[in-house]
Amino acid sequence: MRILVEFTIIDLSKNGFDGSIPGSVGNLQSLKYLNLSHNKLIGSIPTSFGNLKPLEALDLSSNQLVGKIPTKLVRLTSLAKLNLSWNHLTGALPWSFQFQTFDSTSNLGNHELCGDLFEERKCDNGGKMQPLYDTD
């Protein structure tokens, strides 16, 4: 199967799509805007998304995505808008100057995410959420 790589905008939001996001989306080298929000997508965010160098906006909100945010996303230095809210993402937010520019609403509803952007959900050294209160 061949994929046309000249697309710059893809908006497939609110279509009821299910299943996982194909890793081949990471081959769309001209992509600047990708919106897959408000579907029923499952699985993890493909690490191949780190190849989308010109990407300026990524919206994967309101799906059922799980797992960690791929650290390869820090390569996306053109990324100005990111919305991963209302999924089931876990672990530490990848650290980069770029990721520090996104406000905390871009990760709402992912109760197992932790990191410097979350005042109440800091990570321990292993990238897991620290308890809010002492358990002693």
Which residue do the tokens 């996104």 mark? 102
With contact defined as beta carbons under 8 Å apart, do 1 and 25 qualify? Answer: no
- Split at pLDDT 50, 70, 90, the class of 25 is very high
- Split at pLDDT 50, 70, 90, the class of 36 is very high
Q: Is the pLDDT of residue 1 over 80?
A: no
Q: What is the mean pLDDT of residues 84-102?
A: 87
Which residue do the tokens 């194909």 mark? 22
| For the chain, domain boundaries | 9-114
Q: Is the pLDDT of residue 129 over 60?
A: no
**Tokens found for residue 46:** 């493909």
Q: What is the mean pLDDT of residues 97-112?
A: 84
Q: Show the CA angle centred on residue 43, arms to residues 38 and 47, nearest 5°.
A: 100
Domain 9-114, CATH among 3.40.50.720, 3.40.50.1820, 3.30.2130.30, 3.80.10.10: 3.80.10.10
- Split at pLDDT 50, 70, 90, the class of 105 is confident
> Looking at residue 132, what is its pLDDT?
46
